[in-house]
Structure 1
Amino acid sequence: MTNVNVHSDFAQHGEGDAHHPHQHEYKQSHLLGFALLLTGGFAAVEALAGWYSGSLALISDAGHMLTDSVALALAYFAQKMAARPASARLSFGYTRVEVVAAFVNGLTMAAIVLWIMGKAIWRLWHPAPVDGETVTWVATVGLLINLGVAYLLHCDQTSMNTRAALVHVMGDLLGSVAAIVAGIVIATTGWMPIDPLLSIFVALLIVRSTWRVLKESTWHLMDAVPHGLDYTKIGERLRSLKGIASVHDLHVWDMSPNQPTLMAHVILEADVQWPKLLDQARAMLHEQFGIEHITLQPEWQQCSVGTTHKVH
């Protein structure tokens, strides 16, 4: 009995298939790892400072940074998983893990926004004393940390996973700015409502980015046609190639972020040289639509008499 190496024999990328940028993924994982180290480390420092000063605002912000750390850890784990090769069980590989991680991060960010809103409303009715000076200094350090982490993640936004993590960090960055302003106002005027009011403002700013991440990751999980590609136009261009009578069972989706994939059945006219036409179709799809991972199944016209085929 012959053993078959599934990855080397069946799961290899052939000509016209997409290739994985391993060096780029290596850079992404290192950026996420360093960002995780910075964020997690400062979350612990901020929690200790909040406990020492009795500042609920700092403890809350530390909790927010802790969720950032979890989000970054999830993104880091997903990045590592996505780099693993395909297997007999997962023939497409692990690239979809990044999309799942982005979706989970979007959900957690939505939950955080709701928590911030609820907590802020409660604090408006039940003011608590805050050490404004301590909040200002610690939040300033937090702002610098968040700026550094945001810069690292902003350097690479090609991955949906990284963009989702960036939403978390930007939310905490805005939270640090709000904490600084609140700390200064409280230290100079003693007006406590500024803290929950700014928290509500920050939460509203985060909503848009959170919605964008959730929407984009949901579309990916639903195998929607990638943004920027016209499904109907792709079908029409395929059908316009000389030798193709019609196209059906056309599917266009992202196998992973930024990796558009196409699969279709094409009805061929008689006496068509399929290998030559296949090369033309692949070249056209790559040049005009940026699609590299292409699977076309030929069917000859005489085998489909009486059947009307449409792009659908």
Structure 2
Amino acid sequence: MTVHHHHDHDHPHDHAHTAAQGSSRKLVLALGLTLGFAAVEAVAGWLSGSLALLGDAAHMLTDSLSLGLAAGAAVLAQRPPSRRHSYGLGRAEILAAFINACAMVAIVILIAVEAVDRISHPQPVQGGIVLGVALIGLAINLVAVWLLSGHGHDLNVRGALLHVIGDLLGSVAALVSGAVILLTGWTLIDPILSLLIMLLVLVSAMRLLREALHALMEGVPLHLDLGEVGRAMTAVAGVQSVHDLHIWTVSSSRIALSAHVVLRHIDDWPPILAQLQHALRERFGIDHVTLQPEINEQRIAVDVLRGERAVRDGG
């Protein structure tokens, strides 16, 4: 039987393209804010002799590089498909999320080692300067978090948001530690809070790492259930069964599906195809669909056998 493929290109890719443009603009804005504050924090740390501020400035600089990577990946993802990259470069976003998660794990380890060292060897911290810079950092990071929120299924933006949330928690910790140091002079509060925050960031980083690796391995998107999608397809009138069903993530904003659809009657394929497209798009958000219709060969064999018997009986 002739193999039929269908790609559902009617679903608005323009919407995904517009969303990608919006996310890239927000990433660039967040990058500018983070990089600018990292410079301010580095100067403040150098003037005050505060290792805590210098260390956090280095952390912010690393996050700026991560945001730059995420922004670059978002721009690449907007490029249309080509002969060499038939899906486009949308997978760059997922790769950037994977790299960002790995970088965050490395940062967590480095800061944790430094925090343990500071607990063993306490160092003087000027609470007033730490408190003032932390207030500025808190305001800037809140704006950055607001810019990057609302992109739940975009692994690339989530990776960047994870870094910014780490900075936000760092600002809160610096704020608390600055206040405690000013009021009590107890400098150990700074490394202790850093360890607690790094533990929270590590949990989020590992979750992002797992999801990005899952997508790179072309696993079924975590928010979808393969069995549920298959049942929804077989629930369409005229569909007898579905096999060789595959669902994978092409990019953060695009999910693809391919399957063989067994029909009762091949003549019913056009309306069945339209119903399947609609169900997959509206219920599951799957807009890139490749389906191969098949007729029930066992039923054909039974019909042929009955026909042969009828011929013999008639003969």
TM-score, normalisation: structure 1: 0.86
Q: Secondary structure at the match of 1:273?
A: helix
Q: Does 1:122 align with 2:117?
A: yes
**Shift of residue 157 of structure 1?**
4.2
Q: Secondary structure at the match of 1:223?
A: coil
Q: Secondary structure at the match of 2:122?
A: coil
- Which residue matches 2:241? 246
Q: Is the 8 A contact 2:9 2:287 kept in 1?
A: no
Counting only pairs closer than 5 Å after superposition, residues 176-195 of structure 1 correspond to structure 2 as 176-195=171-190
The higher radius of gyration belongs to 2
- In structure 2, the CA distance between the partners of 1:31 and 1:272, relative to structure 1 (3 Å rule), is same
- Which residue matches 1:45? 40
1:71 counterpart (62, 66, 71): 66
Taking the aligned partners of 1:99 and 1:220, their CA distance within structure 2 comes to 7
Q: Is the 8 A contact 1:17 1:293 kept in 2?
A: no
**Runs of 5+ unmatched residues, structure 1:** 1-11, 307-312
Taking the aligned partners of 1:82 and 1:221, their CA distance within structure 2 comes to 15
Return the letter of the residue paired with 1:112.
I
Taking the aligned partners of 1:36 and 1:271, their CA distance within structure 2 comes to 54
Cα RMSD after superposing both structures: 2.3
- Which residue matches 2:90? 95
Taking the aligned partners of 1:154 and 1:242, their CA distance within structure 2 comes to 40
- Which residue matches 2:137? 142
Return the letter of the residue paired with 1:121.
V
Percent identity between the two aligned chains: 47
- Which residue matches 2:218? 223
- Which residue matches 2:275? 280
Q: Does 1:202 align with 2:197?
A: yes
Structure richer in helix, relative to its length = 2
Return the letter of the residue paired with 2:24.
S
Q: Is the 8 A contact 1:243 1:272 kept in 2?
A: no
Q: Is the 8 A contact 1:31 1:153 kept in 2?
A: yes
Taking the aligned partners of 2:228 and 2:136, their CA distance within structure 1 comes to 52
Deviates more, 1:46-55 or 1:285-294: 285-294
Q: Is the 8 A contact 1:16 1:282 kept in 2?
A: no
Q: Secondary structure at the match of 1:127?
A: coil
- In structure 2, the CA distance between the partners of 1:243 and 1:102, relative to structure 1 (3 Å rule), is same
Please give the per-residue CA displacement for 1:200-232, whole angstroms capped at 9, x wherever unaligned.
111122122222212221221122222332211
TM-score, normalisation: structure 2: 0.85
- In structure 2, the CA distance between the partners of 1:281 and 1:177, relative to structure 1 (3 Å rule), is closer
Q: Does 1:294 align with 2:289?
A: yes
Taking the aligned partners of 1:23 and 1:270, their CA distance within structure 2 comes to 40
Return the letter of the residue paired with 1:94.
L
User: What is the number of residues matched between the two proteins?
Assistant: 295
Please give the per-residue CA displacement for 1:92-129, whole angstroms capped at 9, x wherever unaligned.
01111111111111111111111111111111111112
- In structure 2, the CA distance between the partners of 1:17 and 1:299, relative to structure 1 (3 Å rule), is farther
Please give the per-residue CA displacement for 1:108-164, whole angstroms capped at 9, x wherever unaligned.
111111111111111111111222222221222112211121121125445221121
- Which residue matches 1:309? none
**Shift of residue 246 of structure 1?**
3.1
